[in-house]
């Protein structure tokens, strides 16, 4: 496949694309664990597209379901209308969650799911007759998408800098990452549950009756696979419950089997009031997201003293038939192949393989859980991210598409990977790590 001659018309101003323009990396095909590049090479997808293609690429059942649906009914409006499959999907999705999380609102992306969850949290307090709860609490190093609500509660200063002022009434928990105490720990870090007490600081600082919600990624994905210290999420849950604050888990990355359990709520045994999902919901094939809400939140809208107040929210493509068909076929695939609970079968092997990289040059930490992993490299002074970029380019040459974030290589292979695939990946990475400057 020829490289297009004019690369300038495609404008990607918000991404680091200089290097890309010099040596375009174009993907022209995908099947299961592999992409085909424009120059005909096969590269292993080690990040499931972008944490989304959990069942691997080009799965016939999903492709066929989309084809069939396009031919039957392409679109149906989601306001005062619906189509039958959207009820089926909502029921099946809710059925994947612990009791009490049982109502589903559809969106079209992770960012939209976050905006929706924040708005549901604010509106539910109003519906319950507590209009004074307006504050939203995120966490440093949290990533919640690129729209204004998610950007505000997100904890990446560099992402926010160009766009302020953002939402008022937002504060952030300190992040939980303490590599000096947890370096090379396997699975969840043992130390650091007390980071959750930072919520007490914020509660003391702001009257708790003004706080609407706390939003966290159970595992912070985009900032380098930062795992919650053992007991941390439980403590957050207890504090939120005590003070009437909704707890939101952003499971856009952690959902759909990534952690070796269907969702982080199962993996860590903590049930939030709202969950955001996207990505793996349709296996990344078409855009779709969702918010799963607790019975209590749903009932506040239906029966609370604020009943009758108008809460307008919804998207043109909420629950559209094509995405719904893709999601149903995706859930069928996950169920049939046991992918949402495949973790335990692979997690031990994955952990041992990754931790065998300890001691290679520049490797300063290795993290793992379920089928997610991270290899953190020591930054080159004055040139942070340079080493990871070098690893990315070498890996691509060697036949692996990896994702780097800061100086960390983040890994999230499709859940259909076999041990041999994981072994190949880790061996490939070892070779690359040995050659880094």
| Rounded CA separation 177/376 (Å) | 13
| Rounded CA separation 100/7 (Å) | 50
List 56, 145, 284, 414, residue binding ligand PMP (CB under 6 A)? 145
List 143, 195, 317, 392, residue binding ligand PMP (CB under 6 A)? 143
Q: Which helix (H) or strand (E) holds 30?
A: strand 27-31
List 101, 248, 253, 290, residue binding ligand PMP (CB under 6 A)? 253
List 62, 193, 252, 339, residue binding ligand PMP (CB under 6 A)? 252
- Looking at the Cβ atoms of 286 and 425, the one nearer to ligand PMP is 286
Q: Judged by CB under 6 A, does residue 319 bind ligand PMP?
A: no
List 130, 198, 250, 351, residue binding ligand PMP (CB under 6 A)? 250
| Rounded CA separation 185/324 (Å) | 40
Q: Which stretch binds ligand PMP (CB under 6 A): 36-44, 142-150, 183-191, 355-363?
A: 142-150
Residue pair 369/344 in contact by the 8 Å Cβ criterion:
no
Q: Which stretch binds ligand PMP (CB under 6 A): 69-77, 140-148, 364-372, 390-398?
A: 140-148
Q: Judged by CB under 6 A, does residue 56 bind ligand PMP?
A: no
| Rounded CA separation 265/369 (Å) | 14
**What are the residue ranges of helices labelled H in 52-197?**
60-72, 84-95, 110-127, 148-153, 157-160, 179-182
- Looking at the Cβ atoms of 150 and 260, the one nearer to ligand PMP is 150
| Rounded CA separation 288/283 (Å) | 10
Closest CA to 199 of 269, 247, 156: 247
First to last CA, the chain: 33
**Sheet containing 135-139, strands listed edge to edge, beginning at the edge strand earlier in sequence:** 101-107, 289-294, 274-277, 246-250, 211-216, 135-139, 170-173
Q: How far is the CB of 60 from ligand PMP (least distance, A)?
A: 25
Q: How far is the CB of 172 from ligand PMP (least distance, A)?
A: 15
Q: Which stretch binds ligand PMP (CB under 6 A): 179-187, 204-212, 215-223, 290-298?
A: 215-223
Between β-strands 363-369 and 372-377, what pairing exists: parallel, antiparallel or unpaired? Answer: antiparallel
Crossing angle for the helix pair 295-303 and 110-127, to the nearest 10 degrees: 50
Q: How far is the CB of 355 from ligand PMP (least distance, A)?
A: 25
Q: Which stretch binds ligand PMP (CB under 6 A): 115-123, 192-200, 216-224, 240-248?
A: 216-224
- Tokens 């269907």 — which residue? 262
Q: Which stretch binds ligand PMP (CB under 6 A): 14-22, 250-258, 266-274, 409-417?
A: 250-258
List 49, 192, 221, 306, residue binding ligand PMP (CB under 6 A)? 221
- Looking at the Cβ atoms of 17 and 386, the one nearer to ligand PMP is 17
Q: Judged by CB under 6 A, does residue 233 bind ligand PMP?
A: no
- Looking at the Cβ atoms of 104 and 127, the one nearer to ligand PMP is 104
Please give the residue whose beta carbon sits closest to ligand PMP in the complex: 110
Q: Judged by CB under 6 A, does residue 274 bind ligand PMP?
A: no
Between β-strands 289-294 and 274-277, what pairing exists: parallel, antiparallel or unpaired? Answer: antiparallel
- Looking at the Cβ atoms of 139 and 237, the one nearer to ligand PMP is 139
Q: How far is the CB of 338 from ligand PMP (least distance, A)?
A: 24
- Looking at the Cβ atoms of 143 and 263, the one nearer to ligand PMP is 143
Dihedrals φ, ψ of 424, to 5°? -60, -45
Binding mask 82-121 for ligand PMP (x = CB under 6 A): ---------------------------xxx--x-------
What Rg do the C-alpha atoms of the chain give, in angstroms?
22
| Rounded CA separation 181/189 (Å) | 9
Q: What is the DSSP letter of 15?
A: S
Q: Judged by CB under 6 A, does residue 225 bind ligand PMP?
A: no
| Rounded CA separation 366/377 (Å) | 9
Three-class secondary structure of residue 372 per DSSP = strand
Closest CA to 97 of 324, 282, 256: 256
- Looking at the Cβ atoms of 287 and 304, the one nearer to ligand PMP is 287
- Tokens 């919640």 — which residue? 144
Query: Would you tell me which residues interact with ligand PMP (CB under 6 A)?
Result: 109-111, 114, 143-145, 217, 221-222, 250, 252-253, 278
């Amino acid at each position: 496949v020829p490289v297009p001659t004019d690369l300038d018309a495609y404008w990607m101003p918000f991404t680091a694309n200089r290097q890309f323009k010099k040596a375009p990396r174009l993907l022209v095909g995908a099947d299961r664990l592999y992409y085909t590049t424009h120059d005909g090479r096969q590269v292993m997808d080690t990040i499931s597209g972008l944490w989304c293609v959990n069942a691997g690429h080009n799965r016939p059942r999903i492709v066929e379901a989309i084809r069939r649906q396009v031919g039957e009914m392409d679109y149906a409006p989601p306001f005062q209308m619906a189509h039958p499959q959207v009820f089926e999907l909502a029921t099946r999705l809710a059925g994947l969650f612990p009791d009490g999380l049982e109502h589903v609102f559809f969106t079209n992306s992770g960012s939209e799911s976050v905006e929706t969850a924040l708005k549901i949290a604010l509106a539910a307090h109003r519906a319950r007759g507590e209009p004074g709860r307006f504050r939203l609490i995120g966490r440093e190093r949290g990533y919640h998408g690129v729209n204004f609500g998610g950007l505000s509660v997100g904890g990446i200063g560099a992402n926010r800098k160009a766009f302020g002022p953002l939402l008022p009434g937002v504060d952030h928990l300190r992040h939980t990452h303490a590599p000096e105490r947890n370096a090379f720990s396997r699975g969840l870090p043992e130390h650091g549950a007390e980071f959750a007490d930072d919520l007490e600081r914020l509660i003391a600082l702001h009257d708790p009756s003004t706080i609407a919600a706390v939003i966290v990624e159970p595992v912070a994905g985009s900032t380098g696979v930062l795992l919650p210290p053992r007991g941390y999420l439980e403590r957050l849950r207890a504090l939120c419950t005590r003070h009437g604050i909704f707890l939101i888990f952003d499971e856009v990355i952690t959902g759909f089997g990534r952690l070796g359990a269907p969702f982080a709520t199962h993996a860590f045994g903590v049930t939030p009031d709202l969950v955001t999902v996207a990505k793996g919901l349709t296996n990344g094939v078409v855009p779709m997201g969702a918010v799963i809400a607790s019975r209590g939140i749903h009932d506040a809208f239906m029966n609370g003293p604020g009943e009758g107040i108008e809460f307008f929210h919804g998207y043109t493509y909420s629950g559209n038939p094509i995405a719904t068909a893709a999601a149903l076929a995706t859930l069928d695939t996950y169920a049939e192949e046991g992918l949402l609970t495949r973790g335990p079968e692979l997690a031990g092997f994955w952990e041992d393989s990754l931790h065998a990289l300890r001691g290679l040059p520049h490797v300063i930490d290795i993290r793992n859980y379920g089928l997610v992993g991270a290899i953190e490299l020591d930054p080159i002074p004055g040139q942070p991210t340079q080493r990871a970029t070098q690893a990315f380019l070498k890996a691509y040459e060697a036949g692996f598409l990896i994702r780097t974030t800061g100086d960390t290589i983040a890994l999230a292979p499709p859940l259909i990977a076999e041990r041999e695939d994981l072994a190949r990946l880790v061996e490939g990475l070892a070779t690359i790590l040995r050659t880094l400057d």
